[in-house]
Structure 1
Amino acid sequence: MEIAKTFDSDLIHAIFKLVWSRRAQERARNESADHMENEAEIGSSRKNRPTAANSNALKLSCELLRMFITEAVQRATSISEAEGVDKIEATHLERILPQLLLDF
């Protein structure tokens, strides 16, 4: 039995950290804009604490992404084969995406 390869957890963690930092920056911008408008709320801002993920959460995220992409490719392949096309095109992915997102 061959073990299915999954994504590198360091890569997924780096992607998560990038998204978390962008959201924190966006929150900080919004809070500073709100602070300028509402100076009466001194001391009520949220602390910016670092967001982290443990190794089990990263492994689970990697496996979920692997399964999601595998399922997307299989569904798009069946549509492309039904059309008699040898390659998966963006239109095939666009057609399967709504139902795939509902299934996941």
Structure 2
Amino acid sequence: MKPQHKLVSSLIEMDLQSITTEEFGELWVNYEIEVKKKVQCSIQQCDKLAEKLSKSWSIDIVQVIGQEFIAFDPYQPAVLIHVYLMPLDQQFELTIRAKNDVNEITQFLSKRNIK
């Protein structure tokens, strides 16, 4: 097994409650399947959006950075989430990456009624 794949596997197996931004970044570059969506949103502050989505989508926020945040689904650890808030456009760009299969992303979106 390549060292890079070994790192990804070990991070998946660990308790993702304690994932760091650096660990998220290591996983992000290795998760090659990606889907982007634009979602309407009236929230103007990224920390407020992160808080709302954390509760309504049952995701864990890793870090809020300016108008962006990174997160993961603790029930679907092979899915990583990046959100970029565009308050002037009243929307956010949702980027989801999956490790193995686009169906992981489809499941994530469908559970949250995102088309």
Do they fold alike, i.e. is TM over 0.5?
Answer: no
When normalised by structure 2's length, the TM-score is: 0.21
User: Which entry has the higher C-alpha Rg, 1 or 2?
Assistant: 1
Higher relative helix content: 1
Higher relative strand content: 2
Q: Which has the higher contact order (CA 8 A, sep 6+)?
A: 1
